[in-house]
Chain A
């Protein structure tokens, strides 16, 4: 089955700086890669996703890049703000199969 690794597990950045979280996956057939943001005690919220037919996708301060050859994808947050502090999870899946989640990254934005 699919295995997703996520790094780092914790990340602290100064407000205004950029944050990068990286994930690798094992199943080359995986074709859908979402990123979720989860605040304490709340539901995971989809913030951006990418499919395997594109290499990069951007939505305002958030971007995701995908390298199919290396089987890794990354989340980039620019101009970070205190409200970006949360736990971020990457995930991967193929077609209608189940999502496999990474282990999460606790991002802290230092004012």
Chain B
């Protein structure tokens, strides 16, 4: 089945640091990838939709200069949390949709737990 790899799985860093998270589709081409944020005991909140070769579409309330998204290839999207602060601590999960399946299911990465001290 379709596999999405996300790295790193856990990050602990000081306030003010920028953190990059990678999301890769391993056995399929993902023209569209999604970035979610999940707080404890809450649902997944979509942050942005990443399309290969074009600018990401951000959800209302999500700062595009704070959360930089790059989708440079059909198998890789990156999320960079710039100048991270304690309130950015959360579980970040990416997902990818198989470009060959049109409106097919989304496959999730393992998530990245980000802790800002």
Please list the residues of chain A having a beta carbon within 8 angstroms of any beta carbon in chain B: 31-32, 34, 36, 41-46, 49, 89, 93, 95-96, 98-99, 101-104, 106
Nearest A residue (CB) for B44: A101
For the complex of A and B, the 5 pairs showing the least CB-CB separation, nearest first, are A43-B108, A103-B43, A101-B43, A43-B110, A104-B43
Query: B93 to chain A: which residues have CB within 8 Å?
Result: 43-44
Minimal beta-carbon separation of A40 from chain B (angstroms): 10
| Contact of B106 with A by CB under 8 A | yes
Task: Produce 1/0 per residue, B35-50, CB < 8 A to A.
Answer: 0000001111010010
Nearest A residue (CB) for B104: A32
**B103 touching A99 by the CB < 8 A rule?**
no
Contact check: which of B32, B102, B103, B111 meets A43 at CB < 8 Å?
B111
Contact check: which of A34, A95, A102 meets B105 at CB < 8 Å?
A34
